[in-house]
Structure 1
Amino acid sequence: MTPVIATYSDGIHRAGVVALWRRTFDYGTPHNDPDYSLDMKLLADDGLLFVALEDGAVIGTTMAGFDGHRGWIYSVAVDPAFRRRGVGAALVRRAEQALAAAGCPKINLQIVSGNEQVVGFYEALGFSVEPRISMGKRLPWRERRVLAKGE
């Protein structure tokens, strides 16, 4: 199976992406709400959100980013019915192509603890485990409101 990989279009793909993310991600934190995450990504207006389509239906997504120094693959989601068919690999390759075209020299990603079974997937795509300590800091949560650019 070779899925169609397309750049996300809000008017066309939103419902399918939100439904897929609700099925595949179980983060349980407000800042990871699919609608909020999409709105925030769209503010970046960087064209680094891709969908995999089967007969027009969203069966997978990947969200990437580039800050001018490093590229990131933030998430890859594939509908469980379409896993192990090359969908995730096609999405990662599309993100890699877009990041390379933007001049990105290196791509990083993080794997959530408890999801280590995907390490082999990424290793097969050329990624390797690096000796790093990942740290984060949550900022105070405010009402879920997406700010307009420049606000």
Structure 2
Amino acid sequence: MRKFESNDRDALIQLWETVFPDDPPHNEPAAVLRAKLEVDDLVFVAESNGKIVGACMAGYDGHRGWLYAVAVYKEHRRNGTGAELVKHAMAALKELGCIKVNLQIRVTNTQVAAFYESLGFSVEERLSMGAFL
């Protein structure tokens, strides 16, 4: 587990395109990564045999932390890679003073909900809203 480096760009974009093939256009990986790196460098990758197999983008607004675009190639799941990646990102947020981390998942993605529950996350009754600018 380590921070993203500029030479990871193409591999990270390929990972996100593979793991999130049905994401809407506003989540286009190259644009998301470019925008994120203009703000901060809270992007983490997991490597296996010198290749990126997972990634997680984190955010911190000084009050709450967030996890975004947590992705692990299918063939590298269920071996601890995702858990270690999330824990690594959460530790980085904690170092910044973050005391609570949030994330959003699609309501139909029950398998990933169980994964996050195993890491200590719980469902909070909220209505998630958004607006495009």
Same topology, TM > 0.5: yes
Separation (CA, whole Å) in 2 of partners of 1:136 and 1:81:
33
Q: Does 1:100 align with 2:102?
A: no
Structure having the higher helix fraction is 2
1:34 paired with 2:34, answer no
Amino acid at match of 2:2: A
Unpaired runs of 5+ residues, structure 2, are none
1:87 maps onto 2:67 in alignment: no
Number of paired residues?
133
> Are 1:22 and 2:10 matched, yes or no?
no
Task: Give the alignment partner of residue 70 of structure 2, picking from 70, 76, 82.
Answer: 76
Matching residue of 1:148: none
Q: 1:28 to 1:107 in 2, by over 3 A?
A: closer
Unaligned runs of 5+ in 1: 140-151
- CA radius of gyration, larger in: 1
Deviates more, 1:62-71 or 1:25-34: 25-34
Residue 132 (structure 2) pairs with residue 138 (structure 1): yes
The answer on 1:112 being equivalent to 2:77 is no
Query: C-alpha displacement at 1:60, in angstroms?
Result: 0.2
Measured in 2, the distance between the counterparts of 1:28 and 1:78 equals 15
Letter in 2 for 1:104: C
CA–CA separation in structure 1 for the residues paired with 2:61 and 2:47: 28
CA distance in 2, matches of 1:111, 1:135: 13
CA–CA separation in structure 1 for the residues paired with 2:18 and 2:31:
16
1:13 is matched with 8
- The CA distance in 2 between the partners of 1:28 and 1:101, in whole Å, is 31
Task: Please say if 1:129 is aligned against 2:123.
Answer: yes
| Conservation of the 8 A alpha-carbon contact between 2:56 and 2:86 | yes
SS at match of 1:119: helix
TM-score where L is the length of structure 1? 0.84
Distance 1:34-1:129 versus aligned 2 partners, 3 A rule: same
The CA RMSD measured in Å over matched residues stands at 1.1
Q: Percent identity?
A: 49
**Residues in 2 aligned to 1:28 and 1:56: alpha-carbon distance in whole angstroms:** 27
Q: TM-score, normalised by structure 2?
A: 0.95
